[in-house]
Chains A and B, each alone.
Chain A
Amino acid sequence: MSIELGHFALVLSFALALVQMTVPIVGAKLRNDTLMRVGEPAALTNFMLVALSFTALTFAYVQSDFSVLNVWENSHSAKPLLYKITGTWGNHEGSMLLWVLILVFFGALVAVFGRNLPLSLRANVLGVQGAISCAFIIFILATSNPFARLDPAPMEGRDLNPILQDIGLAVHPPLLYLGYVGFSVAFSFAIAALIEGRLDAAWARWVRPWTLAAWIFLTGGIAMGSYWAYYELGWGGFWFWDPVENASLLPWLGGTALLHSALVMEKRSALKIWTVLLAILTFSLSLLGTFLVRSGVLTSVHAFATDPTRGVFILGILVLFIGGSLALFAWRAGTLTAGGLFQPISREGALVLNNLILTTATATVLIGTLYPLLIEAVTGDKISVGAPFFNLTFGPLILPLLVVVPFGPLLAWKRGDLWAVSQRLFLAFGGGLAVALLVFILVDRTSVLAALGTGLGVWLVLGALTDLVIKSGLGKVAPAVAFGRFKGLPRSVFGTALAHAGIGLTTIGIISVTTLETERITAMQPGETVEIHGYNLRFESLRPFTGPNYTEDQARFVLTRVTGKAMGEVMSAKRFYTARQMPTTEAGIRTIGLSQLYVSLGDQTPNGKIVVRIWWKPMVTLIWLGSLIMMIGGTVSLLDRRLRVGAPMPRGKAAAQGARA
Chain B
Amino acid sequence: MTRKQKRLAVIAGAIGFLGAATGLTLYALGEQTSYFYVPGDLAERPVGVGERIRLGGLVERGSIQRSDDTHVRFAVTDGIETVAVRYNGILPDLFREEQGVVTEGAFDQNRIFVADTVLAKHDENYMPREVADSLKEKGVWQED
Which residues from chain A sit less than 8 Å from chain B, CB to CB? 161, 163, 233-235, 296-299, 301-306, 308, 343-344, 349, 356-357, 360, 363-364, 367-368, 371-372, 381-386, 388-389, 392-393, 396-397, 521-523, 580-585, 600-607, 609, 611, 613
Name the 10 nearest CB pairs between A and B, nearest first: A602-B90, A382-B36, A389-B32, A388-B32, A392-B28, A583-B93, A163-B122, A360-B21, A389-B28, A521-B70
Considering the complex, give the chain B residue whose CB is closest to the CB of A242. Answer: B119
B21 — which chain A residues lie within 8 A by C-beta? Answer: 360, 363-364, 393, 397
- Chain A CB within 8 A of B123 CB: yes
Whether A382 contacts B130 by the Cβ 8 Å rule is yes
Whether A299 contacts B129 by the Cβ 8 Å rule is yes
Whether B18 contacts A299 by the Cβ 8 Å rule is no
A438–B1 CA distance with the chains assembled, in angstroms: 42
A357–B14 CA distance with the chains assembled, in angstroms: 9
Pick from B91, B94, B119, B133: contact of A582, CB below 8 A: B94
A305–B121 CA distance with the chains assembled, in angstroms: 11
What total count of A-B pairs have CB within 8 Å?
146
B12-43 vs A, CB cutoff 8 Å, 1 = contact: the mask equals 00100110010011011101111110000000
Q: A303-B122, A603-B66 are in contact. Are A521 and B89 (CB under 8 A)?
A: yes
B120 — which chain A residues lie within 8 A by C-beta? Answer: 233, 235, 301
With A303-B122, A585-B90 known, 11 other A-B pairs at CB within 8 A are A163-B122, A297-B129, A356-B14, A368-B28, A371-B33, A392-B28, A397-B24, A582-B124, A603-B66, A604-B66, A611-B90
- Chain A CB within 8 A of B9 CB: yes
A52–B122 CA distance with the chains assembled, in angstroms: 31
A163 — which chain B residues lie within 8 A by C-beta? Answer: 122-123
A523–B21 CA distance with the chains assembled, in angstroms: 45
A611 — which chain B residues lie within 8 A by C-beta? Answer: 70, 90
B107-130 vs A, CB cutoff 8 Å, 1 = contact: the mask equals 000000000000111111110111
Whether A303 contacts B54 by the Cβ 8 Å rule is no
Whether B68 contacts A607 by the Cβ 8 Å rule is yes
Shortest A238–chain B CB gap in Å is 15
Whether A303 contacts B123 by the Cβ 8 Å rule is yes
Shortest B125–chain A CB gap in Å is 8
Pick from B7, B68, B134: contact of A606, CB below 8 A: B68
Pick from B72, B90, B104: contact of A235, CB below 8 A: B90
Considering the complex, give the chain B residue whose CB is closest to the CB of A306. Answer: B126
Considering the complex, give the chain A residue whose CB is closest to the CB of B129. Answer: A299
Which residues from chain B sit less than 8 Å from chain A, CB to CB? 6-7, 9-10, 14, 17-18, 21, 24-25, 27-29, 31-36, 54, 66-70, 72, 88-94, 102, 104, 119-126, 128-130, 133-134
Q: A299-B128, A357-B17, A602-B91 are in contact. Are A383 and B122 (CB under 8 A)?
A: no
Whether A385 contacts B33 by the Cβ 8 Å rule is yes
Pick from B17, B24, B122, B128: contact of A393, CB below 8 A: B24
A521–B17 CA distance with the chains assembled, in angstroms: 43
Whether A384 contacts B36 by the Cβ 8 Å rule is yes
CB-defined A-B contacts under 8 Å, sample of 8: A161-B122, A161-B123, A304-B126, A367-B29, A382-B133, A385-B33, A611-B70, A613-B90
Q: A356-B14, A388-B32, A392-B32 are in contact. Are A523 and B68 (CB under 8 A)?
A: yes
Q: A303-B121, A363-B21, A580-B124 are in contact. Are A393 and B90 (CB under 8 A)?
A: no
B27 — which chain A residues lie within 8 A by C-beta? Answer: 392
Whether B128 contacts A613 by the Cβ 8 Å rule is no
Whether A522 contacts B25 by the Cβ 8 Å rule is no
A386–B126 CA distance with the chains assembled, in angstroms: 20
A389–B32 CA distance with the chains assembled, in angstroms: 5
Shortest A200–chain B CB gap in Å is 26
A382–B55 CA distance with the chains assembled, in angstroms: 11
A298 — which chain B residues lie within 8 A by C-beta? Answer: 129
B94 — which chain A residues lie within 8 A by C-beta? Answer: 582-583
Whether B90 contacts A603 by the Cβ 8 Å rule is yes
Shortest A222–chain B CB gap in Å is 18
Q: A364-B25, A384-B54, A522-B70 are in contact. Are A344 and B10 (CB under 8 A)?
A: yes
A349 — which chain B residues lie within 8 A by C-beta? Answer: 10
A603–B71 CA distance with the chains assembled, in angstroms: 11
A301 — which chain B residues lie within 8 A by C-beta? Answer: 119-122
B69 — which chain A residues lie within 8 A by C-beta? Answer: 522-523, 605
A117–B52 CA distance with the chains assembled, in angstroms: 57
Whether A384 contacts B33 by the Cβ 8 Å rule is yes
B133 — which chain A residues lie within 8 A by C-beta? Answer: 382
Q: A299-B128, A606-B66 are in contact. Are A392 and B24 (CB under 8 A)?
A: yes
A308–B129 CA distance with the chains assembled, in angstroms: 10
Whether A384 contacts B90 by the Cβ 8 Å rule is no
A356–B123 CA distance with the chains assembled, in angstroms: 39
Interface centre among A297, A389, A583 (most CB of B within 10 A): A389
Pick from B28, B33, B68: contact of A383, CB below 8 A: B33
Whether B123 contacts A304 by the Cβ 8 Å rule is yes
A388–B133 CA distance with the chains assembled, in angstroms: 26
Whether A386 contacts B34 by the Cβ 8 Å rule is yes
Q: A296-B129, A344-B10 are in contact. Are A383 and B90 (CB under 8 A)?
A: no
Pick from A363, A396, A583, A605: contact of B67, CB below 8 A: A605
Pick from A161, A360, A386, A613: contact of B32, CB below 8 A: A386
A296–B126 CA distance with the chains assembled, in angstroms: 10
A609–B71 CA distance with the chains assembled, in angstroms: 13
Whether A360 contacts B122 by the Cβ 8 Å rule is no
A602–B17 CA distance with the chains assembled, in angstroms: 46
A602 — which chain B residues lie within 8 A by C-beta? Answer: 70, 89-91
Whether B91 contacts A609 by the Cβ 8 Å rule is no
Whether B24 contacts A585 by the Cβ 8 Å rule is no
Whether A381 contacts B35 by the Cβ 8 Å rule is yes
A392 — which chain B residues lie within 8 A by C-beta? Answer: 24, 27-28, 31-32
A383 — which chain B residues lie within 8 A by C-beta? Answer: 33-36
A396 — which chain B residues lie within 8 A by C-beta? Answer: 24
A602–B69 CA distance with the chains assembled, in angstroms: 11
B66 — which chain A residues lie within 8 A by C-beta? Answer: 603-606
Interface centre among B31, B32, B134 (most CB of A within 10 A): B32
B70 — which chain A residues lie within 8 A by C-beta? Answer: 521-523, 602, 611
B130 — which chain A residues lie within 8 A by C-beta? Answer: 299, 382
Interface centre among B9, B17, B33, B92 (most CB of A within 10 A): B33
Q: A301-B120, A305-B123, A521-B70 are in contact. Are A582 and B93 (CB under 8 A)?
A: yes
Shortest A474–chain B CB gap in Å is 34
Shortest A587–chain B CB gap in Å is 11
Shortest A648–chain B CB gap in Å is 35
Whether B36 contacts A605 by the Cβ 8 Å rule is no
A591–B9 CA distance with the chains assembled, in angstroms: 50
A393 — which chain B residues lie within 8 A by C-beta? Answer: 21, 24-25, 28
A603–B129 CA distance with the chains assembled, in angstroms: 27
Pick from A234, A296, A304, A522: contact of B93, CB below 8 A: A234
Considering the complex, give the chain A residue whose CB is closest to the CB of B89. Answer: A521
Whether A521 contacts B90 by the Cβ 8 Å rule is yes
Shortest B75–chain A CB gap in Å is 17
Shortest A640–chain B CB gap in Å is 31
Shortest B121–chain A CB gap in Å is 7
Considering the complex, give the chain B residue whose CB is closest to the CB of A519. Answer: B89
